[in-house]
Amino acid sequence: MKRPSFQNSIRMGGFTLVELLAVIAIVAILSALAVPMFATLKKATDLNVATASIVSSLEQGRAYAMANNTYVFVCFEETNFTTPSDQAQSPGTGRVAVQVFSSLDATMNLTPSNLAAVSRMQIFNSLDLPSSLASTTGNLSTRQTASYIVGSNSGSTQFPPAASTITTITSGNFTFSKIIAFDSRGELHIPVNPPVEGLQYLEIDLQQSNGSTAPTAAKDQSAIQVDGLTGAVTIYRS
Protein backbone atom coordinates (compact mmCIF):
# COMPACT_ATOMS: atom_id res chain seq x y z
CA MET A 1 0.00 0.00 0.00
CA LYS A 2 1.33 3.40 -0.98
CA ARG A 3 1.96 5.70 1.96
CA PRO A 4 0.55 9.30 1.74
CA SER A 5 3.14 11.89 1.04
CA PHE A 6 4.13 14.51 3.66
CA GLN A 7 2.30 17.21 1.73
CA ASN A 8 -0.89 15.14 1.56
CA SER A 9 -0.74 14.57 5.33
CA ILE A 10 -0.64 18.29 5.95
CA ARG A 11 -3.54 18.87 3.56
CA MET A 12 -5.67 16.18 5.21
CA GLY A 13 -5.18 17.55 8.74
CA GLY A 14 -5.68 21.28 8.05
CA PHE A 15 -8.56 23.68 7.36
CA THR A 16 -9.44 25.37 4.14
CA LEU A 17 -9.55 29.14 3.89
CA VAL A 18 -13.33 29.01 3.53
CA GLU A 19 -13.64 27.01 6.76
CA LEU A 20 -11.42 29.45 8.65
CA LEU A 21 -13.41 32.44 7.40
CA ALA A 22 -16.64 30.72 8.42
CA VAL A 23 -15.33 30.13 11.96
CA ILE A 24 -14.13 33.75 12.24
CA ALA A 25 -17.54 34.99 11.06
CA ILE A 26 -19.33 32.85 13.67
CA VAL A 27 -17.04 34.11 16.46
CA ALA A 28 -17.61 37.72 15.35
CA ILE A 29 -21.40 37.25 15.37
CA LEU A 30 -21.37 35.63 18.81
CA SER A 31 -19.11 38.41 20.14
CA ALA A 32 -21.43 41.08 18.77
CA LEU A 33 -24.36 39.39 20.48
CA ALA A 34 -22.47 39.05 23.77
CA VAL A 35 -21.24 42.66 24.08
CA PRO A 36 -24.67 44.20 24.91
CA MET A 37 -25.32 41.42 27.39
CA PHE A 38 -22.02 42.05 29.19
CA ALA A 39 -22.63 45.82 29.13
CA THR A 40 -26.05 45.33 30.75
CA LEU A 41 -24.54 42.95 33.30
CA LYS A 42 -21.81 45.49 34.15
CA LYS A 43 -24.38 48.25 34.67
CA ALA A 44 -26.38 46.04 37.02
CA THR A 45 -23.20 45.11 38.90
CA ASP A 46 -22.12 48.77 39.19
CA LEU A 47 -25.54 49.72 40.55
CA ASN A 48 -25.40 46.88 43.07
CA VAL A 49 -21.96 48.02 44.24
CA ALA A 50 -23.08 51.67 44.57
CA THR A 51 -26.25 50.68 46.43
CA ALA A 52 -24.37 48.45 48.87
CA SER A 53 -21.69 51.10 49.45
CA ILE A 54 -24.24 53.83 50.22
CA VAL A 55 -26.12 51.53 52.58
CA SER A 56 -22.82 50.81 54.34
CA SER A 57 -22.16 54.57 54.69
CA LEU A 58 -25.60 55.12 56.21
CA GLU A 59 -25.17 52.27 58.68
CA GLN A 60 -21.63 53.35 59.54
CA GLY A 61 -22.77 56.94 60.14
CA ARG A 62 -25.65 55.94 62.40
CA ALA A 63 -23.51 53.50 64.40
CA TYR A 64 -20.78 56.13 64.86
CA ALA A 65 -23.27 58.73 66.05
CA MET A 66 -24.71 56.39 68.67
CA ALA A 67 -21.32 55.06 69.81
CA ASN A 68 -19.79 58.53 70.18
CA ASN A 69 -22.86 60.42 71.44
CA THR A 70 -22.69 62.98 68.64
CA TYR A 71 -24.20 64.00 65.33
CA VAL A 72 -22.98 62.39 62.14
CA PHE A 73 -23.65 63.79 58.67
CA VAL A 74 -23.96 61.61 55.58
CA CYS A 75 -23.40 63.83 52.54
CA PHE A 76 -24.40 63.38 48.90
CA GLU A 77 -23.72 65.41 45.78
CA GLU A 78 -24.19 64.75 42.08
CA THR A 79 -21.92 66.56 39.64
CA ASN A 80 -21.22 66.67 35.92
CA PHE A 81 -19.61 63.45 34.67
CA THR A 82 -17.76 65.33 31.92
CA THR A 83 -15.72 67.33 34.46
CA PRO A 84 -12.57 65.44 35.53
CA SER A 85 -12.86 64.37 39.16
CA ASP A 86 -9.58 66.10 40.03
CA GLN A 87 -11.08 69.48 39.12
CA ALA A 88 -13.65 71.65 40.93
CA GLN A 89 -17.04 70.01 40.53
CA SER A 90 -20.33 71.68 39.63
CA PRO A 91 -23.87 70.29 39.98
CA GLY A 92 -24.84 68.08 37.08
CA THR A 93 -25.49 64.48 36.10
CA GLY A 94 -23.43 61.32 36.11
CA ARG A 95 -21.02 61.47 39.07
CA VAL A 96 -22.17 60.91 42.68
CA ALA A 97 -19.94 61.53 45.69
CA VAL A 98 -20.71 60.29 49.22
CA GLN A 99 -18.84 61.05 52.44
CA VAL A 100 -19.51 60.80 56.19
CA PHE A 101 -18.52 63.44 58.78
CA SER A 102 -18.95 63.72 62.54
CA SER A 103 -19.61 66.75 64.72
CA LEU A 104 -16.79 67.50 67.17
CA ASP A 105 -18.98 69.43 69.63
CA ALA A 106 -21.89 66.97 69.46
CA THR A 107 -24.22 69.58 67.95
CA MET A 108 -25.70 70.01 64.49
CA ASN A 109 -22.92 72.47 63.66
CA LEU A 110 -21.64 72.14 60.09
CA THR A 111 -18.84 74.71 60.19
CA PRO A 112 -15.60 73.22 58.77
CA SER A 113 -13.68 73.50 62.04
CA ASN A 114 -16.32 71.38 63.77
CA LEU A 115 -16.23 68.50 61.29
CA ALA A 116 -14.11 65.35 61.23
CA ALA A 117 -14.21 62.88 58.36
CA VAL A 118 -15.48 59.46 59.43
CA SER A 119 -14.91 57.88 56.04
CA ARG A 120 -13.03 58.53 52.84
CA MET A 121 -15.01 60.03 49.99
CA GLN A 122 -16.62 57.53 47.62
CA ILE A 123 -17.11 58.56 44.00
CA PHE A 124 -19.45 56.68 41.66
CA ASN A 125 -19.25 57.45 37.95
CA SER A 126 -22.15 57.02 35.51
CA LEU A 127 -24.58 57.14 38.44
CA ASP A 128 -27.61 59.42 38.79
CA LEU A 129 -29.69 60.57 41.77
CA PRO A 130 -33.10 61.02 40.09
CA SER A 131 -35.91 63.07 41.61
CA SER A 132 -38.14 59.98 41.42
CA LEU A 133 -38.21 56.49 39.95
CA ALA A 134 -40.61 55.71 37.13
CA SER A 135 -40.04 51.96 37.23
CA THR A 136 -42.60 49.80 39.04
CA THR A 137 -40.91 46.49 38.32
CA GLY A 138 -39.33 44.33 41.00
CA ASN A 139 -40.41 45.38 44.48
CA LEU A 140 -40.12 49.16 43.91
CA SER A 141 -43.90 49.52 43.94
CA THR A 142 -44.09 48.09 47.48
CA ARG A 143 -41.94 50.77 49.16
CA GLN A 144 -43.30 53.34 51.60
CA THR A 145 -44.09 56.92 50.62
CA ALA A 146 -40.98 58.97 51.42
CA SER A 147 -41.03 62.25 53.32
CA TYR A 148 -38.01 63.41 51.30
CA ILE A 149 -36.06 62.06 48.33
CA VAL A 150 -32.37 62.96 48.34
CA GLY A 151 -32.21 63.42 44.56
CA SER A 152 -35.24 65.72 44.37
CA ASN A 153 -34.92 69.47 43.82
CA SER A 154 -38.58 70.34 43.36
CA GLY A 155 -42.07 69.47 44.52
CA SER A 156 -43.30 68.30 47.91
CA THR A 157 -40.23 66.13 48.40
CA GLN A 158 -37.72 68.89 47.69
CA PHE A 159 -34.24 68.22 49.03
CA PRO A 160 -32.89 70.12 50.79
CA PRO A 161 -36.31 71.15 52.09
CA ALA A 162 -37.27 74.81 52.04
CA ALA A 163 -35.36 76.54 54.83
CA SER A 164 -34.00 79.95 55.72
CA THR A 165 -30.40 78.75 55.60
CA ILE A 166 -28.89 75.88 53.60
CA THR A 167 -25.44 74.90 54.88
CA THR A 168 -23.04 73.02 52.63
CA ILE A 169 -19.94 70.96 53.38
CA THR A 170 -16.90 71.22 51.12
CA SER A 171 -14.50 68.32 50.80
CA GLY A 172 -11.82 68.22 48.13
CA ASN A 173 -13.38 69.27 44.82
CA PHE A 174 -16.94 68.58 45.95
CA THR A 175 -19.46 70.81 47.72
CA PHE A 176 -22.15 68.72 49.40
CA SER A 177 -25.63 70.25 49.53
CA LYS A 178 -27.68 67.10 50.18
CA ILE A 179 -26.93 66.28 53.81
CA ILE A 180 -28.72 64.06 56.31
CA ALA A 181 -27.84 63.70 59.98
CA PHE A 182 -28.08 60.97 62.60
CA ASP A 183 -28.21 61.95 66.28
CA SER A 184 -26.91 60.02 69.31
CA ARG A 185 -30.21 58.08 69.46
CA GLY A 186 -29.86 57.02 65.83
CA GLU A 187 -32.76 59.20 64.69
CA LEU A 188 -32.71 60.96 61.34
CA HIS A 189 -32.64 64.74 60.80
CA ILE A 190 -32.02 67.17 57.95
CA PRO A 191 -29.57 69.84 59.19
CA VAL A 192 -31.09 73.02 57.79
CA ASN A 193 -32.30 76.09 59.66
CA PRO A 194 -34.64 75.22 61.29
CA PRO A 195 -33.78 71.49 61.29
CA VAL A 196 -36.27 69.03 59.83
CA GLU A 197 -37.06 66.35 62.39
CA GLY A 198 -39.60 63.60 62.86
CA LEU A 199 -39.06 62.15 59.38
CA GLN A 200 -40.92 58.93 58.74
CA TYR A 201 -39.03 57.77 55.65
CA LEU A 202 -36.19 59.27 53.64
CA GLU A 203 -35.35 57.85 50.24
CA ILE A 204 -32.20 57.76 48.10
CA ASP A 205 -32.98 56.84 44.49
CA LEU A 206 -30.25 55.51 42.20
CA GLN A 207 -29.98 54.68 38.52
CA GLN A 208 -27.16 54.21 36.04
CA SER A 209 -26.54 57.17 33.72
CA ASN A 210 -25.03 57.20 30.26
CA GLY A 211 -22.12 59.41 31.21
CA SER A 212 -23.66 62.84 31.83
CA THR A 213 -27.03 61.84 30.36
CA ALA A 214 -29.70 60.37 32.61
CA PRO A 215 -31.68 57.57 30.94
CA THR A 216 -35.27 58.36 29.98
CA ALA A 217 -36.49 54.86 30.77
CA ALA A 218 -34.02 53.18 33.10
CA LYS A 219 -34.44 49.46 33.58
CA ASP A 220 -31.94 49.12 36.43
CA GLN A 221 -32.92 51.24 39.42
CA SER A 222 -32.74 50.98 43.19
CA ALA A 223 -34.35 52.85 46.06
CA ILE A 224 -32.78 52.99 49.53
CA GLN A 225 -35.26 53.91 52.25
CA VAL A 226 -34.24 54.97 55.76
CA ASP A 227 -36.70 54.82 58.64
CA GLY A 228 -36.42 58.22 60.31
CA LEU A 229 -36.95 56.88 63.84
CA THR A 230 -35.19 53.51 63.89
CA GLY A 231 -32.63 54.15 61.15
CA ALA A 232 -33.53 50.82 59.56
CA VAL A 233 -32.44 50.67 55.91
CA THR A 234 -34.41 48.81 53.24
CA ILE A 235 -33.37 48.30 49.62
CA TYR A 236 -35.90 48.11 46.79
CA ARG A 237 -34.86 47.04 43.28
CA SER A 238 -36.36 47.03 39.82
The verdict on residue 80 lying in a domain is yes
Q: Where residue 45 falls among pLDDT bands split at 50, 70, 90?
A: confident
Rounded Cα gap, residues 149 and 161, in angstroms: 10
pLDDT of residue 14: 65
The verdict on residue 2 lying in a domain is no
The verdict on residue 29 lying in a domain is yes
Mean pLDDT of 138-164: 84
The verdict on residue 11 lying in a domain is no
pLDDT of residue 214: 85
Mean pLDDT of 63-83: 97
* Cα dist from 171 to 21, 120, 190, whole Å: 56, 10, 19
Write the DSSP string, 188-228.
EEB-SBSPB---SEEEEEEEE-BTTB--SS-SSEEEEEEET
User: How do residues 159-174 score in pLDDT, each as one tens digit?
Assistant: 888 777 778 999 999 9
Rounded Cα gap, residues 202 and 45, in angstroms: 24
Helix (H) or strand (E) holding 165: none
Question: Within 13 Å, how many C-alpha atoms sit on residue 23's CB side?
Answer: 6
Find the range with the poorest average confidence among 62-71, 214-223, 229-238.
214-223
Question: Within 13 Å, how many C-alpha atoms sit on residue 216's CB side?
Answer: 0
Q: What is the mean pLDDT of the chain?
A: 86
How many domains is the chain partitioned into structurally? 1
**Which residue would you say has higher pLDDT here, 219 or 7?**
219
pLDDT of residue 125: 94
Mean pLDDT of 4-31: 65
The verdict on residue 1 lying in a domain is no
Report pTM: 0.81
Find the range with the poorest average confidence among 75-79, 82-86, 152-156.
152-156
Print the domain residue range for 76: 17-237
The verdict on residue 6 lying in a domain is no
Rounded Cα gap, residues 88 and 85, in angstroms: 8
Helices (H) and strands (E) in the chain, counts: 2, 12
Mean pLDDT of 126-137: 85
pLDDT of residue 38: 41
The verdict on residue 105 lying in a domain is yes
Tell me: pLDDT of 18 over 90: no
pLDDT of residue 20: 74
**Which residue would you say has higher pLDDT here, 175 or 195?**
175
Q: Where residue 207 falls among pLDDT bands split at 50, 70, 90?
A: very high
Tell me: pLDDT of 36 over 60: no
